[in-house]
Structure formats: structure tokens, C-alpha cells
Amino acid sequence: MNNVVILPILIPLLTGIILIFFNKYIKVQRWISFCSTLITVLVAGYLVQTVFTDGIQTLQLGSWKAPFGIVLVADMLAAILVLTASIIVFTCLIYSFRNIGKARESYYYYAAVQFLTVGVLGAFLTGDIFNLFVFFEVMLMSSYVLIVIGGTKIQLRESIKYILVNVISSALFVIAVAYLYAVTGTVNIADLSAKISEIGQPGITTVISILFLIVFGLKGAIFPLFFWLPGSYHAPPIPITALFGALLTKVGVYAIIRTFTIIFYHDTGFTHTLIGILAGFTILVGVIGAVAHWDVKKIIIYNILTAVGVILIGVATLTPTSLAGSIYYLVHDMMIKAALFLLVGAMVVITGTSNLRKMGGLITHHPYLGWMFFIAAISLAGIPPFSGFIGKLLIVQGGLQAEHYVLVGAILLSSLLVLYSVMRIFINGFWGEAKLKKEEEKGTTNGLLFPITLLVAISVTLGIGAEWFYPYIDQAAKGLADPTIYIQAVLKE
């Protein structure tokens, strides 16, 4: 039964290889990608239920047992994120059929998406800090292809910065892993937790933890390491931006959550206080950027930073309640960010511009699109009973329990500014007098509404059905709050 752990990695890997040989047959690529990704979603759903009923699933690769061999670990946190990421890839692929363009489809677009999926899902499932680096590299190499595919001037310009930042980050990652191995003699995450518990938390271990925070902070775009994100995510087409915004930064956030709850949790007075401070500044930068811009893509991109800050406040607080809130909000944000990017993408298709000042009255001819955006906007801001509210409520409760009043205040204030930033899109873009007649519209939303509807429906269900979903989130949070659960499952102690 444990073999199911490797299937979310194996299916997109094999699919990506197969798609390389069909790069000129676009319809064949679409069908193969659709079927493969749907199967991945179903397998991920089965994995979540298996972990919920039977506990953490592990798979030893080769004949070497942990901590000496390579191990894949599906605890509830990893399983939930694998399912969430699979759904996002599925919806973005469907959106791509009508939006990405045949020129990009014939240049290995679908293969690159599958390899990106391998990197993302592998990063969630690996139980080895070095293989986390390996899956990061698979993810990043695929993203390099996706950010330049099409070869527009803005893509080529921004790709240079994006690749340079990630090359430096990857070099730092290898250095950090080498230092950690020198101190502990292992790279297995569970064994690292046990070894650091035994040796205590000397100064060198704290330094290494900060080095990892820099590495994952670059990938997760926390303050002050976010400078590359707004331009890089604005350059590619909308389906790629949605994949990047919903998945790539969240892998960096996941890595921070994993390492600073399982490995580096012995000097929380320093490390987690620092995470809390950086999270607060990340929220500040995010809301300022979202409020200041009139480009609909940039507004949603800066809201990525705000969400990253909110999630990391739950990690900094390190209570079971706040960790549950961080996981809930992470899942919510992945879904709703993908939906919002696809929504503003539909607006750009209709108007031919991402400048909010040049839009207006879209709800006249596109009421369904308008009200879908409204639901997504208030969910993002955390208005009850939607999913954003549940996650923020839990983080705020955990923050108050830990007496982190300033960080709680930052979350509450940011909610108002996030609401203002996205409602500005709704009011200026959809309300008022229509600036384009139906026959003057630049494109059609045919084929674009189904994936958006699916994402928004899941987000609404996460909020309204919170009582049903919470046991899964709670199990994930308990695994983070008590590292011995993870250690015993992996090392079989």
C-alpha cells in the first residue's frame, strides 16, 4: 500500500517524458496531460484518506532503510498539499487549452508543466533534506522553461533576474545542507530532528538554521528577499503566472514550515521571533504594493506576499492552533490565488489590457465572471464564512494565546487592505459604465470559466464545510507540533 506514496511523482514524470515525443501534436498533448493530471488528483485524494485512516505512509527506495537510504514520507501535511497542488495543475491545464496559445503548446509547454509538477510534489513528499534540494532544482529548471517560453521581450528580461536569484539560492542551499551534514552526520529529516535534539542547539546550528531561512525565504519571497517576484511573475502568460503564484512560493513556505517545526525548533526565542518579524514586514510590503498598483496582475501578485506573511505568523507563534491555521490558510491561499489569477486573466482576454483604468462595466456582458470574482475577492480577504476566514481565525487565536499582539494586529489590518485592493478591481473593472461594447471585446471567455468555477467552488466548500475538513488539518498540525510522531513513523522506533 505504501507504493501509493511514489505515484504522485511517478505519474507526471512519465507523462512529461511521453509528451516530449508528441510536441507537434497539440490535441494529443492536451488529452495525455488532461488524463494524467486527473489521475494524479485521484491518487492524491486516495493518499490523503490513507494517511488519515492509517497514519503516516513511508516508502524506502532501494534496499537501504532510513536514515541511510532515500525515503518518501506522506504525513498529513504533505498529502494535503500534494492534493491541493494536483488540483491547481489540473485547472491551470484546462485553462491553458484556450489561453496559452498553440505557439507555446508546440514548444514543450505541457511537458514542462508535468516536470514542474514532479518538482513540486516531490518537494512535499521527500523525507530527505538533500532530496528536497533535488526536487527544488527539478521544479526550478521547469520554471525556467515556462518563464521564457514564447520569447517575448519582457519574459526574456525578467527571466535573467529570476534565474540569477534562484542559482544563487540553490548554491546557498547546497552549502547549508553541507554544513548541516557536517554537524549532524545525516540528511534524513526525521534523523536530523533526533540528532539535533541529542546535541542541543549550539551556535553553529542556529547559524545553519538562519542560512536555511535565507534559502527558503528567497524561494518563498519573504521580506527582504521578495524583490525578484513582482516582475518575474508578471512576465509570463496567465496560466503560468497562476502556477507560479499558487505553487512555487508555497513550496518555499512549506520548506520553512517543515524545517522550523521538525528540525530547528530548539531555539525558538531567536529563530521563530525572527520569522515573526520578517512575516510582519512581508505583510506590510504586500499590502502597500497591492494598494499602490493599477495593474490587475500586479495587485494579485503583491497579495501573494501578504499571504506568505500571514502563514508564517502561524509558524512563528508555534502553537497547535496557529499551526492548524497556517495549514488551513496555506491550502486556501493556493486555491484562491490560482482562481484570482485565472479570473484577472479572463479580464485581460476580454479587454486586451491588464490596466485597471482601461477597464469598466464588464459585469454588463459577463455577470457570471463578475460575481465569481466577487466571491473569490471576499474569500481572499477572510470574510466569513469563506475559507480565508477560518485560517486567519485560527492564526489569530494562536497569536493571542502566545501574546503576539502586534502580529495579530498586522493580520487584522492587512485583511482590510487586502479587501480594499481586490474590491478595487471589482468596482473599477466590473462596475460602472461598460467601456467596451460586446463586439469590441478582444477575446472570449469560452473554455475559461470551468476551471475558475472549480477552484472557487472548492474554496467556498473549504469555508462552509470547515467542520468536515478540520480533522484532516488538525491531524497535520499535531504532526508538526509533536515531531516525535514524524520521527517514529520514518525511523520505525
Report residue 110 as a C-alpha cell: 505541457
312 SS3 class: helix
**Is the model's pLDDT at 1 over the cut of 50?**
no
For residue 245, the number of C-alpha atoms closer than 13 Å in the C-beta half-sphere is 34
Q: What cell does 17 get? A: 517524458
- Residues above pLDDT 70, as percent of the chain: 99
49 Cβ contact partners less than 8 Å away, ≥ 6 residues apart: none
Pairing between strand 57-61 and 70-74? antiparallel
Separation CA 323–CA 475 (nearest Å): 11
**Residues 119 and 28 sit within 8 Å (Cβ to Cβ):** no
Contact 379, 492 (CB under 8 A): no
- As a whole number, mean pLDDT of residues 317-344 equals 92
Q: Where are the alpha helices (DSSP H) in 60-152?
A: 76-99, 102-105, 109-125, 129-148
Q: Which residue matches cell numbers 513513523?
A: 489
**pLDDT, position 303:** 93
**211: confidence class by pLDDT, cuts 50, 70, 90:** very high
pLDDT tens digits, 213-225:
999 999 888 988 8
pLDDT bracket for residue 267 (50, 70, 90): confident
Measured CA to CA, the distance from residue 256 to residue 254 in angstroms comes to 5
pLDDT at 200: 64
Contact predicate 320/478, CB 8 Å: yes
Residue 429: pLDDT band (50, 70, 90) is confident
**Closest residue by Cα to residue 340 from 310, 283, 312, 381:** 381
Mean pLDDT value of segment 289-304: 92
Look-up of cell digits 466548500: 461
- The residues, ordered by sequence, that sit 6+ positions from 93 with a Cβ below 8 Å of its Cβ are 33, 34, 37, 110, 113, 239
pLDDT of residue 154: 85
Give the Cα separation of 471 and 466 in Å (integer). Answer: 9
Q: Which three cell numbers stand for residue 385?
A: 464564512
Length of the chain: 493
Confidence of residue 49 (pLDDT cuts 50, 70, 90): very high
> What distance in Å separates the CA atoms of residue 19 and residue 114, rounded to the nearest whole number?
9
310 burial type by CB count under 10 A (0-12 exposed, 13-18 middle, 19+ buried): buried
Range in 147-161, 179-193, 369-383 the model is least confident about: 147-161
Between helix 268-292 and helix 203-220 the angle, nearest 10°, is 20
Give pLDDT tens digits for 116-129.
999 999 999 998 99
Angle at the Cα of 8 (from 322 to 48), degrees rounded to 5? 45
8-38 burial, b at 16+ Cβ within 10 Å, e below that, comes to bbebbbebbebbeebbeeeeebbebbeebbe
Minimal CA–CA distance to 343: which of 364, 360, 366?
A: 366
Which cell numbers in the block locate residue 13? 514524470
- Burial readout 390-428 (b: 16 or more C-beta within 10 A, e: otherwise): bbbbbbbbbbbebebeebbebbeebbebbbebbbbbbeb
